[in-house]
Structure 1
Amino acid sequence: MTNAIRPFEPSRRALLSAAAGWAIAGPAAARRGEPTVAITLRPDLARATTLFEGWGTALAWFANVTGGWPDAERTRLADLFYGPGGLGWTIARYNIGGGDRPDVKPYLRPGAALPGFWRQPEGATGTDWWRPDQEAMWDWSADANQRWWLDAIKARVRQPIFEAFSNSPPWFMTVSGKVSGAEKATDDNLRPGQEGPFAAYMARVVDELQRRHGVAFRTLSPVNEPNTDYWHAANTQEGAHWSPARQAAMILAADAALKARGLKTVISAPDETNSHLFLADWAGYPPEARAAIGQLNVHSYGVVNQTGVRDAARAAKIRLWMSENDTPLDKDPESFEGMASPLAFAEHVVLDLKRLDPSAWVLWQAVETLSTRDGAKGSNWGLVKVDYRSSPEGPHAIHLTAKYWAMAQFSRYIRPGYRLVPVDDLDTIGALSPDGRELVLVHVNGGLSPRELTPPRGWSGRMIVTDARRRAEPVPGLTVPPRAIATLVLRR
């Protein structure tokens, strides 16, 4: 049995090492006296169909920051997510930066200024100087920090899955001259006729990084959250609007550029922000654009019409990923120990897996910047908190949040090679091991009453819990405490 499908069982020593420097700061005790609710779980093992490929994160901003930190600190972070005793992730999405004008005053948020791989010749002006066939116009020293993570993941994961994605074309290919978007958020920002040069840019980056780092990018996503009103010139991160017609043209151009280089990388699309916009994009693609897509990507910042996306993928016989999400509870003040956001996050994961039936679930940013530095209440994005704005030389405080342990309840036990199983309980998802002998059920109890779970007949096992007092710890019996996430690992 390979590492790709073996149940992920971190050692006690590894767990203690991963949690070093972290402590639970005495949250209020769970309410007492609430009656226990009995729930019988009925997974439909006959419908264990979708082959799950794993869990992971986009690298992007946090890798652009932390990849340049002292080795002990960045190594610890890589171990927390991809190493023994960590989360057991196997997927990473590498962000091909567009790269802003060298002479522009910095305006992107900390970490978000991803370097481009182009080099502007001395004396070149305007926007028409770049020639992809001229080697002097490429800079292969760029983006060293995010690239450190490629090597770190490769060293920790036996069969990693890498995806490359773009948020914006380079500034000189845009209408506004900025990688943050057009002047008007609903205008396309790629200049007309630049599909070929932009496709050549992305395909060459994929080719070079594969060769230089010894990795394989299985997919390339050329557009991101394209049919939204998010991206405008005054924004503080890379982004670009694409109408469905321009998306289709870009998909075809990128597919052609990959094939021209003889690469096995295929196109993933449209990486739309939610399912109802995904369906609008998909409806606007001509048959040739649909045929060029090897993987469908959708984000879950909104859950309307998720089963419609599931059906589109099934009808097209194309693999579907939930390729980006994070779900802190709205207006929940930043907290390393609080359970409100971890419960909301876990419930969202459960519903995504139930409704989308995806082959993978990928977080936006595993590491987020401290959001209370300037006196604000902050938010609970990310699983680990650091200060993006601190000096690269360090030292850097690394704060594991309860959301890290909420993710552990899923990713340590639902492993690549398992098949997702429908479960009749709304708060429970299931997965069956390749040999059919292990059944994993993850249950989220967001209420005040304990829940006594009854597994299917013939199955027995153990339960692991994250709540206000425990962090992915074994608990005797099968009664889930209130305000808790529980994983049942069952065998027959």
Structure 2
Amino acid sequence: MKKLIFSLCFSYCFIFYGFAQESEKLILSIDTETKYQIIDHFGASDAWSIQFVGNWPEVKKKAIAKLLFSKEMSHGKPLGIGLSMWRMNLGAGAAAQGSESGIKDEWRRASSFLKADGSLNLPEIDGQLWFANAAKEHGVEKLLLFSNSPPVHLTKNEKGYSSDGNSNLPDENVDAFADYVSQVFKELGKHSLNPEYFSPVNEPQWDWKDGGQEGNPYTNQEVAMLVRALNSSFENEKIKVKIDVAEAGKINYLFELSDKPKRGNQIQEFFAPSSPNYLGDLNHVSKVISAHSYFTTSPSNTSVAMRQRLHEEVKRFPALSYWMTEYCILGGNEGEINGGKRDLGMDAALYVARVIHQDLSVANASAWNWWLAVSPYDYKDGLIYIDKNKTNGDFYESKMLWALGNFSRFIRPGFQRIALKSSSPNEEKINASAYLSSDQEEMVIVLINPENQPKEIQLNQLPDQFQIVKGYLTNENSSLEPKLIDLKNLTFPEKSILTLVFSLKK
């Protein structure tokens, strides 16, 4: 396609609220020939509440599934955020142990997927299966199964967490764990669920010995041993699944040893051919390295620097992509925001939007995943919140749900990020990124304004073949609210996220 360069700058008229206000102009320039990563998906996890919510009254769980998965519109307004990945928790079996599991919160105990005879553990996992099938029915493109801990019958202490901060999976049980996973995939296939990915370890850097949830630490050598066993089992059983490594607890563990010398530097460890833990030549290993964005997002300049470092390291391996596979707002944010207490409003949503922007535009993540899709907690960890009730209750949408939706609903798998440069003096605060569909017939621009004043926009040099379809606004009063866009007279409201969707003229 001929190079398309167009400039966006903010103009005077404030069309969304019906009054004008002086504000700085922002000029953005997009070059569609300068391309970066191809987007694989946006996703969220079913841990841990879905085991219960999946058995709530039909009308309520269908409404929750629609919010997470739907790509439908009603009167031009999205009914949901259209996730393109659903992450399904392969429980270790702590739920069956009850209080003897050592995990105090029963909502964080998960059921084993298999009975002793090798069949699916029904009805204990019915809730999870219901939501996985709902995702499929809504057209969610990808399904991933992840493991926090090996099943308790294979662990050293017969619990879903470590007793001593070392791996709870004895070497002699590694092959049995791999075969267990293969059996799970075969059984799920009998129920018309065919996950394309398996993530065998979660944040292997942490000790996982407090019993707060199911979890297991691994050294890089132990990760490699397990992945090789899984690869062999999948080959033998003809399981068509890709393995995702290694869900690092922080992004810096991918490119430095840091404080975990046997569990860090994971890009080199798993994808450098000279490494004794090299996994890049295994048929079932996805050419992806994954990590979580926790504890690395504040302050903003530090967040950017770490993501630049990550991108530079990933670039050294041309076939490798980076997935950000888990995030919610925890503590340690340099006073910017506290993880405690629910925040259904825009403060948390704008913070999350900035993290998504930096992960996509600086780290070049090709996938971005939230942690708890549905949370019962008084914490900034949920897209949707529920009453902590196992059989019924109310649910509550957060603005974090819709902030993610400004990306996930419109930037579909296969879209590619394209160059965008800003000339604004507020460039570090006003975030903008752009994406082009694989057929180059659709373009999406996501704008984030955390400021207390609106920003003027004027779009110049739009190629003749493109027209704007609509804008979708999320702020304190709107959730992906469709807005008619006058390209000659447009203002981006304060404390809001605006997605602009362009398509070819017909």
- TM-score normalised by L of structure 1: 0.81
Q: Report what 2:259 is aligned to.
A: none
5+ residue gaps, structure 1, are 1-29, 121-134, 372-378
Q: Report what 1:13 is aligned to.
A: none
Q: Report what 1:52 is aligned to.
A: 39
Tell me, yes or no, if the aligned pair for 1:275 and 1:308 is still in contact at 8 Å. Answer: no
Off by >6 Å, runs of 4+ in structure 1: none
User: How far apart, in 1, do the equivalents of 2:122 and 2:396 lie?
Assistant: 33
Tell me, yes or no, if the aligned pair for 2:92 and 2:112 is still in contact at 8 Å. Answer: yes
Question: What does 1:17-32 align with in structure 2 at a 5 Å threshold?
Answer: none
1:248-268 deviation digits (Å, cap 9, x = unpaired): 111111111111111111211
User: How far apart, in 2, do the equivalents of 1:446 and 1:485 lie?
Assistant: 8
Q: Report what 1:447 is aligned to.
A: 451
Residue 266 of structure 2: which of 251, 272, 281 is its match? 281
Q: Report what 2:185 is aligned to.
A: 206
Q: Secondary structure at the match of 1:235?
A: coil
Residue 400 of structure 1: which of 397, 402, 406 is its match? 397
Q: Report what 1:86 is aligned to.
A: 80
Q: Report what 2:132 is aligned to.
A: 150
Tell me, yes or no, if the aligned pair for 2:475 and 2:495 is still in contact at 8 Å. Answer: yes
Matched residue type, 1:48: K
1:377-419 deviation digits (Å, cap 9, x = unpaired): xx3221211023x141x2x211112222212221222122321
Q: Report what 2:194 is aligned to.
A: 216
5+ residue gaps, structure 2, are 1-16, 73-78, 256-264, 271-275, 297-302, 331-335, 423-427
User: How far apart, in 2, do the equivalents of 1:74 and 1:261 lie?
Assistant: 35
Residue 95 in 1 paired to residue 95 in 2?
Answer: no
Q: Secondary structure at the match of 2:434?
A: strand
Residue 172 in 1 paired to residue 153 in 2?
Answer: yes
Residue 298 of structure 1: which of 291, 303, 311 is its match? 291
User: How far apart, in 2, do the equivalents of 1:360 and 1:139 lie?
Assistant: 31
1:133-169 deviation digits (Å, cap 9, x = unpaired): xx36974654121111121111111x62111110001
Residue 264 in 1 paired to residue 240 in 2?
Answer: yes
Q: Which has the higher strand share?
A: 2
Change (3 A) 1:472 1:243: same
Change (3 A) 1:200 1:307: farther
Q: Report what 2:440 is aligned to.
A: 436
Tell me, yes or no, if the aligned pair for 2:36 and 2:364 is still in contact at 8 Å. Answer: no
Question: What does 1:240-255 align with in structure 2 at a 5 Å threshold?
Answer: 240-255=216-231
User: How far apart, in 2, do the equivalents of 1:487 and 1:383 lie?
Assistant: 19
User: How far apart, in 2, do the equivalents of 1:342 and 1:103 lie?
Assistant: 36
User: How far apart, in 1, do the equivalents of 2:31 and 2:337 lie?
Assistant: 34
1:295-328 deviation digits (Å, cap 9, x = unpaired): 3322211246334443454415134322111237
Residue 42 in 1 paired to residue 29 in 2?
Answer: yes
Residue 322 of structure 1: which of 300, 324, 337 is its match? 324
Residue 105 in 1 paired to residue 105 in 2?
Answer: no
State the aligned residue count: 432
Question: What does 1:329-348 align with in structure 2 at a 5 Å threshold?
Answer: 330-331=337-338, 334=341, 337-348=344-355
Change (3 A) 1:138 1:480: closer
User: How far apart, in 1, do the equivalents of 2:339 and 2:247 lie?
Assistant: 27
User: How far apart, in 2, do the equivalents of 1:136 and 1:255 lie?
Assistant: 20
1:221-258 deviation digits (Å, cap 9, x = unpaired): 111111234x11x2221111101111111111111111
Q: Secondary structure at the match of 1:263?
A: coil
- TM-score normalised by L of structure 2: 0.79
Q: Secondary structure at the match of 2:291?
A: strand
Tell me, yes or no, if the aligned pair for 1:383 and 1:401 is still in contact at 8 Å. Answer: yes
Q: Secondary structure at the match of 1:448?
A: coil
Tell me, yes or no, if the aligned pair for 1:50 and 1:358 is still in contact at 8 Å. Answer: yes
Q: Report what 1:367 is aligned to.
A: 374
